[in-house]
Amino acid sequence: MDKICLLKNTVQEYAWGSFTAIPELLGNEHPQDRPQAELWMGAHPKAPSMVEWLGHQEPLDKLIEKYPQEILGKAAAARFDNKLPYLFKVLAAAKPLSLQAHPSRNQAEEGFCRENDLGIPLNAPNRNYKDDNHKPECICALTPFWALNGFRNIPEILSLFDLISPSGLQNQLNHLRQNQNPRGLKQFFQALMALAPDIQKQVTDESIAKIKGQAEENSIFKWMKLLSNEYPADIGIFSPILLNLICLHPGEAMFLPAGELHAYLEGMGIELMANSDNVLRGGLTPKHIDVQALLSVLNFVEREIAIVTPQLKNNGEKVYPSPADEFVLSVLTVEKGMTYESSVNRSIELMICTEGESIFGDIDREEKISCDRGTSVIIPAAVKRYKIEGSATLYKATVPS
């Protein structure tokens, strides 16, 4: 396979998705009957992209099996066992996602093997590990994007709890005051997760009642109130106090390594991650929660979140720095009168146009493909050189060289 091809991608319908955001991106101005949460671009076996190849549609994972080096490039094919190592998404959250974390590679390998040995089916609701891979990820905002990511510093957590003073948590809070370190934070979080349902309801109801007059002026309390509307009596209502509350402006991004407790709250963004479906949940969900499994992967070191802005590479391309081995995200801005030309040494590239119209041209073959808003393409490594013209914004996923 050695041509630039159009992609047809699966839309995932989850309850927290938007009825309008993804349809509008794809050119459908009418709201959908069901919420559309994620547009998947990649070769994940759950929903591989379909590629227009030789006059018909072929699943990308099957094409990679046939032409691994041509599509991925020799280096990436060798490095990632002839598999596409990332999954590229458009994410549209109208409601909060679950509080969650992802395992490291070693944790995923051990957990996947353990659950296989126990005979737990892959589609079982109590299954924690769907594969043996880790899931570092990057989220880049297309609209203002609210999220929670990583534990706040402990004095700040204590100060925020002091403002609401839930009587049912005083013993746990006193223990945290006396043990302001990662071990103490883990014990505090574990105690919250172990509260009986009636105590959870008592402390959350009491706290929400106390913040009612402050919610409009304080974004932390505002999100606590919103979370309580969606998940009444869920201990995850306290997550805006425990975790860093972030609002990414369009064009800003953040990286989420293994073990960081997080939740996406609201907004539309481009998401790029290692090709895994491993999620360990900690609240704000009716789905399975395995507290011990979650505690075994969580990082309880308090940290400030680095907002990632793209760095100019060349000729209209800006790259988001990332420590991930599997992926790198960049944004291309093409304007009338200019031409973007690719580098010669590169791997597979997936791109989606989020604004405007552009023309992709294979320089050696003199073949062209139109790419307007909502359209996505695959550019195999075997395409030696290509150019882009027009007036458009495109997001690109590729493998680091």
- Cα separation, 247 vs 180, whole angstroms: 27
pLDDT in tens, 112-132: 999 999 999 988 988 999 888
Query: CA neighbours within 13 Å on the CB side: how many for 213?
Result: 3
At residue 55, the pLDDT reads 84
Ranges 62-66, 120-124, 187-191: which has the least confidence: 120-124
- Cα separation, 387 vs 255, whole angstroms: 29
At residue 243, the pLDDT reads 97
Is the pLDDT confidence value at 186 over 90?
yes
The pLDDT > 70 percentage for the chain reads 100
At residue 1, the pLDDT reads 87
Average pLDDT over residues 376-384: 96
The answer to whether the predicted template modeling score (pTM) of the entire model surpasses 0.95 is no
Q: What is the overall mean pLDDT for the chain?
A: 93
Strand partners, 42: 87
Is the pLDDT confidence value at 53 over 90?
no
| Exposed / middle / buried, residue 247 (Cβ in 10 Å: 0-12, 13-18, 19+) | middle
Strand partners, 379: 349
DSSP 5-37: EEEE-EEE--TTBBSSHHHHHTT--SPPSS-B-
Is the pLDDT confidence value at 397 over 90?
yes
Q: Under a CB-based contact definition with an 8 Å cutoff, are residues 98 and 261 in contact?
A: no
Is the pLDDT confidence value at 232 over 80?
yes
**Tokens, residue 375:** 């359209």
**Tokens, residue 329:** 């995200």
Is the pLDDT confidence value at 297 over 90?
yes
Is the pLDDT confidence value at 30 over 80?
no
- Assign a CATH topology to domain 312-398: Jelly Rolls (2.60.120)
At residue 276, the pLDDT reads 85
Length in residues, the chain: 401
- The domain segmentation of the chain, as residue ranges, is 312-398
Average pLDDT over residues 1-12: 94
**β-strands 328-334, 376-379: how paired?**
unpaired
pLDDT in tens, 300-348: 998 889 999 999 987 789 999 989 999 999 999 999 988 999 988 889 9
At residue 248, the pLDDT reads 98
At residue 31, the pLDDT reads 74
**Tokens, residue 74:** 């020799």
Average pLDDT over residues 150-163: 95
Q: Under the phi-then-psi rule, with left for phi > 0, alpha for psi from -120 to 50, and beta for the rest, what region is 373?
A: beta
Give the position of tokens 């914004």. 393
Strand partners, 248: 145
Is the pLDDT confidence value at 256 over 80?
yes
Q: Under a CB-based contact definition with an 8 Å cutoff, are residues 257 and 298 in contact?
A: no
Q: Label residue 275 by pLDDT band (50, 70, 90).
A: confident
Is the pLDDT confidence value at 213 over 80?
no
Residues with a catalytic annotation lie at: 281
At residue 216, the pLDDT reads 76
| Exposed / middle / buried, residue 312 (Cβ in 10 Å: 0-12, 13-18, 19+) | exposed
- The one-letter amino acid code at 252 reads E
- Cα separation, 12 vs 17, whole angstroms: 9
- State the sign of the Cα–Cα–Cα–Cα dihedral 125, 128, 134, 138: positive
Is the pLDDT confidence value at 29 over 80?
no
Q: Under a CB-based contact definition with an 8 Å cutoff, are residues 236 and 227 in contact?
A: yes
At residue 262, the pLDDT reads 96
